[in-house]
Each structure stands twice: as structure tokens, then as C-alpha cells.
A and B are shown apart, each in its own frame.
Chain A
Amino acid sequence: MAGYLARRAGSMILVLLGVSVLVFLIMQLVPGDPVRTMLGPTATAESIAAVRADLGLDQPLVQQYVSYLGGLLQGDLNTSLTMAQPVAEIVFPKLGNTIILAAGALVICLVIGVPLGVLAATRQYSLFDRGAMFLSLAGASVPVYWAALVVISIFALKLGWLPTSGMYDVREPGGLGDLLRHLVLPAATAAVVPTAVIARLTRSVMVEALQQDHIRMLRANGVPERQIVWKHALRNALPPIVNIVGLQVGYLLGGVIFIEVVFSWPGLGGQLYTSITSNDMPIIQAGVLFIALVFVVVNLIADIVVALLDPRTREAVG
């Protein structure tokens, strides 16, 4: 187990190094000169050259990358081109807000997606199964930005149950209740696609798990069906479910861009969108980098959970 962990962590570091190279290179590919954009059309050649030297942009590419990586490791993410503020100060609070949104969505996915898949598997080919699976396929095809507009128009505008946008009330901000009220619609919308994907996968692995010999054995021994399904079969079906949940976190972290833009949620996705429109490369770099970092770490955790669920690897630990 320890060896496995070390190997996984090692490959994760390699992947993250690759990610940093790619993100660094993306900035080099951007058409137009960021310094010229930053200083505006009236800038003189001297002032542009001075700022370039100041930012180290006149150095060779490899050297620029090394100093970029060095800064990264010390938490220095450069300065925003449009907000004259260190990128770290902008990105970290927003990353926190995005994680709140994604976590809320993930809870909904797990609470609905897994039981739906299990129930469909136990009633294979029934009306419930067919209905649930068609709904899941439809759910997986939903354009999330459209779903966001639809839920706003129904639950916020027509029924007036929940706020249309933001994270806290503008007039009386604060409190967990306020946050939860603002979280419901965006989190539920973000959860639609991953819930559908998780339900479909859960069904297919559960169908397989329920056909295994030891399950038939348990049935023959008179173990209650509920216990067979939720304890024994689900346990065997868990590893692929955990893996797909890890991958769906990636979908959530990407998809929240749409959610945050439509619901004006003050997260990293919305910030990325603003920075893309204003061409603020240091923020785009940092935002993309941190979303990738969270995604890679979540998948590492998922792999570890899968390893722990498997008795063969688990025994190797203790």
C-alpha cells in the first residue's frame, strides 16, 4: 500500500509539472502582447520595454518558466493585469467559493445518483428501470447553461422561492441559512449531468454485482434482499462508482463556469470568464492551474479509496 501510494503521488507530481508547463506555454501562444494590452495604446516603446524587463519577459523561455515555477512554489502567482492586485489574493477566496458550490453539487449527485442506479438495477428492465435510465440519458444531455436559465425562471422568477443570483443576500448578508438558500439552485443545476452519469454507471455495475455467485449463495441462505443489495452487492460495485465520482468532480469543476456565470456566483469559474473577456492572462493561468490541481488531488483520493475498498490492497497496509 505504501509503495502504491508513493507511486501514485510520484506520478501525480509529474502530471502537475506537465500541467504547469502547459499552462505556461498557453500564455506564450496568446496572440498579442500582454504588456501592450496592460499599458494601453498610448504606451511608448521605452515604457513597454521597461515593463517587459520588469516582468522578466525579455528572458529566454526556459528561464521564464523556471522563475514562473519558482514563484508558483512560493505562492507567488504574479499580478493581475486588470486589477493591479496579486493574483493569489484574487484566486484563493474564489477557489474556496467554487469548492463550496462543487461540494454542494457533489452531495446532491451522491444522494440521488447512487440510490437511483441501485434501485434501477434491482428492478432491471422494469418500467422504473427504463424510465430512470431514459431520464438519466436525457439528464446527461442537458446543456447546463440552459438548465440554469430554466430553473431561474421557474424557481426564482415565477415561484419566487429562491434567489436568482449571488452567494449571500446583498442587504443582509451572512449566516449559513443565507448561503444555503443561495446554494440550492446553482448546486442542483450543476448536479444534473453528473447525477445522471453516476446513476447510469451505478446501475450497470450493480446489475453485474447482483449476478455474482456469492450473491446467489446469500439469497439461497435466506439473507434479506435489502441487505444483499445495499450491503453485499453495493460493496462490490463501489470501486468503479468511486472512480466515476472522482471523474465527475472534474466535470463539476469545469461545468461550474457556466453555473457561476449564470448565477453570478463569486467563484473561480466566473472569475475565469471575466478574465478571459478582459484577456487577464495571469489570472487565467492561475485559475486553470488550480482547477487542474484540485481535480488531480480528488482523483488521487478516489484511487486511494478504491485501493482501501479492495481487501487485497487493504490487507497489505496493516
Chain B
Amino acid sequence: MTSTTLGQKVVSPVAAGDTVAAQIKSRSRPALMWRALRRDKAAVVSIGILVFLTLVAVFAPLLAPYDPLDGDASQRLEGIGTPGHLLGLDGQGRDILSRLIYGGRYSLTVAVLPVLAAAPIALLIGMFAGYFGGRTGNAVMRVLDVLFAFPVVLLAIAIAAVLGPGLANVMLAIGITMVPYMARVVYTATVQESAKEYVEAARAAGATQAQILRQQLMPNVMSPLVVYGTSLCGLMIVLAAGLSFLGVGVTPPAPDWGVMTSDGRSVLLEGYGHVATIPGLVILVAALAFNLIGDGIRDALDPHKQTS
């Protein structure tokens, strides 16, 4: 009915459809998540910190006051607040602030990229094993069990040691280490979701296996993977810098935050604490930010905590 018989204001069906569509769109999963996340002050501040660190790394050549690799030996180890060098200089007379600014390029990439790369592989393995189950699925999970027998840090160090140092190798080592953990999260979610009615309904309606996996299951197993992946980025930023600290990650003189902490270790006993303390603090802040965002996303996706 489009006529205005009783003098009431009637919205045309087309316009009404648009509003509903807009409402539905605004209630899509990412939109809902963002609305809940926005109320979490800690998460918002954390997102701000990470955006800041990323922008600083991207525009490093414009922002860094000095070359991160060039040192002035006459000023080596001068402390925080040295004129012209806000955060002081390291053992080779290099400006610590400039190295920190450039360091984000290594440290953030090494932590985030492997998690992003491991996610689709884990999604594939976890959904396959979880949905089809049976002997093959079981076998896949048993192989992963073997990998769980190694502590994460140890596995990453062993793989990095075998591959040799270098930016690409350390990312590969971290990515390989992460796949089983992320796959297990996907597997558990897939097993839980597969048993629900909507999957049964889709099957009864004649959906193919591929359609069920892609259209029904994937959106629902993505949520736990996103939560887990975000927190993993926090862990990985610490681990990746740790590999560099041990000398099996990014190679010096690259200004990776882990390399910088390692540089500071040798002068710490001489009483120059600032060289190691500053980059370590930045690693801590970045990791904490990822973890707070991970917590925020988890709460935002938790139906018990959603108020609207």
C-alpha cells in the first residue's frame, strides 16, 4: 500500500527497504564489534598507540632526526636528555630516538605479518579437520599435537636457528610456529559450530559442502581467530624481538627493537641502562596495546557483555 488513505504519513516500501538494509548493515559483525569496542577506553587508546607507532615507522625518513645507522663515537653512551639527542646515544654513538623510529619498520612487520600469513593456512587446516573430522581430521590434529609438545619460544628459536638469521627467515620461523596454535582455535570453533542447527538447516536446504564451509562456518569461526590473532601479535612482537636479541632474528646493525635491547645488554654492566631500557619499554608498550585490543575485541564479541 502506497496510498495515503487516512492522511497518515506512509513511507514507500522502497524507502522502507533502504532503511532496513541500512540498519542491517550497521548491525553487521564488524560494525557491532566496533560499536562495542569504541566504549572500551583502554582498547581505543591502544589502537591510537599502534596507529601512532605504525605512522611513525612509515614516515621514519621524515621524522628521524639522525641516520639510524650512523654513529658519532665522540658522543657514545651519552644519556637521556643530551642536547640534540632526546633519548641519548648507544654504544656506537647512534641516536636512540632515530633508531627507535626506524625500528618499528622491523619490529612491527616481523610480529604482524607472520600472524596474518599464518591465519589463512590455519583457517584451512582447522576448518578441514574440524568439519570433516573422521580419520583424516584426527590425523591432522595428532600431527599438531606433536608440535604442541615444543614450547613456543623453543620451537621458534629452533626453526630460526635452522633457517639462519635474517628478516624473512625470522618471519617464516614465527609463522610456522603459529600455524598449529591458530589451527587449533579454528578447529575447536568449527567442531562447535558444525553441530549447530543453522548448519543442519543449510545442509537440508541443499547447500554444498563448499557453500556450508565458506558461507556458514567461515564467518563464525573467524571471530575467535581474530581475537586470538590480535593477542598473538602482542606475544609475537615480544618473541620476534627476542629472537633478534638472541642473534637468530633480524641482524645488526638494523635498528630492530630486539637488536637495540641486545646492544644495550653489553653496556648495561658498565652502568649505561638507558640503551637497553628504552627499546624494551617500547616493545612492552606495543605488546600491551595488542593485548588490550585483543581483550577489547573479545569482550565486544561476547554476547553477555553486549548491552545494545
Contacts and interface: CB of A to CB of B under 8 A. Distances in A.
B149 A292 contact: yes
B269 interface: yes
Contacts of A164: 269
A253 interface: yes
B159, B162, B248, B264, most chain A CB atoms within 10 A? B162
B242 interface: yes
Contact of A258 (B152, B246, B281, B291): B246
Give chain A's interface residue range (CB within 8 Å of chain B).
Answer: 35 or more
Question: Chain A binding site: helix, strand, loop or mixed by DSSP?
Answer: helix
B164 interface: yes
A60 B25 CA distance: 61
A113 interface: no
Interface string A228-262: 00000000000000000000001101110110011
Contacts of A257: 153-154, 157, 246
B72 interface: no
Interface string B267-289: 01101010011011101100110
A16 B277 contact: no
A114 interface: no
B291 A141 contact: yes
A250 B177 CA distance: 14
B142 A157 contact: no
Contacts of A147: 280
A14 B269 CA distance: 47
B150 interface: yes
Interface residues of B, number: 49
Contacts of B241: 143
Given A137-B291, A292-B149, A157 B245 contact: no
B158 A26 contact: yes
B151 interface: yes
Interface stretch (A104-112, A215-223, A272-280): A272-280
The 7 closest A-B pairs by CB, nearest first: A146-B280, A254-B153, A254-B151, A18-B146, A141-B287, A250-B151, A254-B154
B114 interface: no
A21 B246 CA distance: 26
A29 interface: yes
A262 B161 contact: no
A141 B269 contact: no
A138 B154 contact: no
Interface in A1-29: 11, 14-16, 18-19, 21-22, 26, 29
A261 B284 contact: no
A272 B160 CA distance: 13
B78 interface: no
Nearest to B241: A143
Nearest to B145: A15
Contacts of A138: 284, 288
A30 interface: yes
A296 B149 contact: yes
A141 B234 contact: yes
B153 A272 contact: no
Nearest to B234: A141
A276 B173 CA distance: 15
A153 B268 contact: yes
Interface of A: 11, 14-16, 18-19, 21-22, 26, 29-31, 134, 137-138, 140-147, 149-150, 152-153, 157, 164, 250-251, 253-255, 257-258, 261-262, 272-273, 276-277, 284, 288, 291-292, 295-296
Interface string B244-265: 0111100000000010011011
B153 A137 contact: no
B161, B279, B283, most chain A CB atoms within 10 A? B161
A142 to B, nearest CB: 6
Contacts of A251: 151-153
A4 to B, nearest CB: 17
Given A153-B277, A255-B151, 11 more contacts: A19-B150, A26-B159, A30-B162, A138-B288, A140-B291, A143-B283, A144-B242, A146-B277, A257-B246, A292-B151, A292-B154
Nearest to B142: A14
B90 interface: no
Contact of A291 (B151, B247, B268): B151
Given A30-B162, A146-B261, A149-B265, A19 B242 contact: no
Contacts of A18: 142-143, 145-146, 149
Nearest to A252: B151
A189 B152 CA distance: 18
Given A143-B241, A251-B151, A26 B162 contact: yes
B164 A31 contact: yes
B95 interface: no
A15 B146 contact: yes
Contacts of A143: 238, 241-242, 245, 258, 261, 280, 283-284, 287
